[in-house]
Structure 1
Amino acid sequence: MRKLKYHVATSVDGFIAHEDDTYGAFMQPRLIQDSEHVTDFVASLATYSAALMGRRTYEVGLKEGVTDPYTNLETYVFSRTMKESPNPRVKLVSEDAVGVVRRLKAQEGGDIYLSGGGAFAGLLFAEGLVDEVLLKMNPLILGAGIPLVSSLRQVVDLELKSTKVYGNGVVLLRYAVLPRPKA
């Protein structure tokens, strides 16, 4: 079974984007220029065979003319409001998101990259579909924005598997999602 990994940049206070869905604070030259964490992230994409994202995450690139953000991966955008995909390679999922993700996880292949989306991530955590969390904790406090996860109704327990501290202050935290206790 393929693993679903929520691999996301976050601020120290748990935000993955500004309130307007932009990422300006994360794009500061001190955080991205000649940064080993960017190189490591790009290399990690080779371990994935599919990418999942919600509409709001997808639209960030779309506003810049990027219709296929992960050309080497099967890409799925989950949206109840988009009517069609602007790129034939990008699959639009408007119904049964949980069922689609379950079917993808059951297929053969590399791991699945959950590419941001606080609300979408919350849905997948609630359904017990996320296997790992990789947080690129940036040395920033935003004070407000899009939360790492939203709308959770129960605690998700994590087990720390590894850490890596980069010279620019970014810390990569890798967690396994622990199974939920049986009721």
Structure 2
Amino acid sequence: MRKVILFIASSLDGYIARTSGAVDWLFTDQDYGYADFLAGVDTILMGRRTYEQVLSFGEYPYKGIQCFVFSRTHGDGRDEHVTFISGEIESFVKGLKSGTGKNIWLVGGSEVIQSFMSHDLIDEFVISVHPIVLGEGIPLFCAPLPTRKLSFQKSRAFDTGLVQLTYFSQPVPDSEFEKI
């Protein structure tokens, strides 16, 4: 079965973008494992506002990769880069996961992440924490969320101060969780 992986960057205070949606604070001096990660996915999922932000970067970065955008305003349909999905997320994603192929990348944003969390659709969390406090912005996780125990996989620290954390969404026995 394919995995849905949330591979995302966050500020130290938990924001994925400025209030405007800008991500000018993200480190771009190296790829922080991005190229290897991208080679392992063949499907990308994101919300409409995230998609609009991606389009503002210039040339579309995900050519040749199947992309779906969840949108209440676009309805079902296509443009030159993506297929828009306006229906129920849970059954759509479960269908993708049960199919064949590489992993599935959940890019963002926070409303889509909240829906995925509510339906327990994220299998792996890879969060790159940048050493910056934004003070305000678009949060990584929007409330309300269910309580979710995660299983620590690894961490990786970079000279720039960025720390990349990887967790699996697997049940952790209560006795192990209490040790943390």
**Counterparts of residues 22-171 of structure 1 (less than 5 Å):** 22-26=22-26, 31-33=27-29, 35-37=30-32, 40-66=33-59, 68-83=60-75, 84-87=77-80, 89-171=81-163
Segments ≥4 residues shifted beyond 6 Å:
none
Residue equivalent to 1:177:
169
Given the superposition, is the C-alpha separation of residues 180 and 118 from structure 1 closer, same or farther in structure 2, using an over 3 Å criterion?
farther
Cα drift, residue 180 of structure 1:
8.8
If the length of structure 1 is used for normalisation, what is the TM-score? 0.87
TM-score by length of 2: 0.88
Q: Which amino acid aligns with 2:3?
A: K
- Report the residue type matching 1:17 in the other structure: A
Identify unmatched segments of 5+ residues in structure 2. Answer: 174-180
- Cα distance 1:82–1:65, how it changes in 2: closer, same or farther (>3 A)? farther
Instruction: Report the CA distance between 1:64 and its aligned residue.
Output: 4.2
Q: Give the conservation status (yes or no) of the 8 Å contact 1:162–1:174.
A: yes
Q: 1:161 to 1:99 in 2, by over 3 A?
A: same
Q: Which runs of 5+ in 1 are unaligned?
A: none
Distance 1:18 1:36 in 2: 21
Q: Please say if 1:20 is aligned against 2:20.
A: yes
The AA in structure 1 aligned to 2:21 is D
| Deviation of the 1:153 alpha carbon | 3.4
Match of 2:25, SS?
Answer: helix
Decide which structure has greater helix share.
1
| 2:178 match | none
Partner amino acid for 1:136?
A: S
Cα deviations by residue, 1:15-62 (Å, 9 ceiling, x for unpaired): 100111111111xxxx322x251xx21221000110000001000022
Letter in 1 for 2:6: Y
Residue identity over aligned pairs, in percent, reads 32
- CA deviations 1:138-166 (Å, max 9, x no partner) are 01111111111113332121111011111
Q: CA RMSD in A?
A: 1.8
* Partner AA of 1:165 in structure 2: A
Aligned residues: 172
Which SS does the other structure have where 2:13 is aligned?
coil
Counterparts of 2:41 and 2:144, CA distance in 1: 26
In the alignment, residue 110 of structure 2 is paired with which amino acid? G
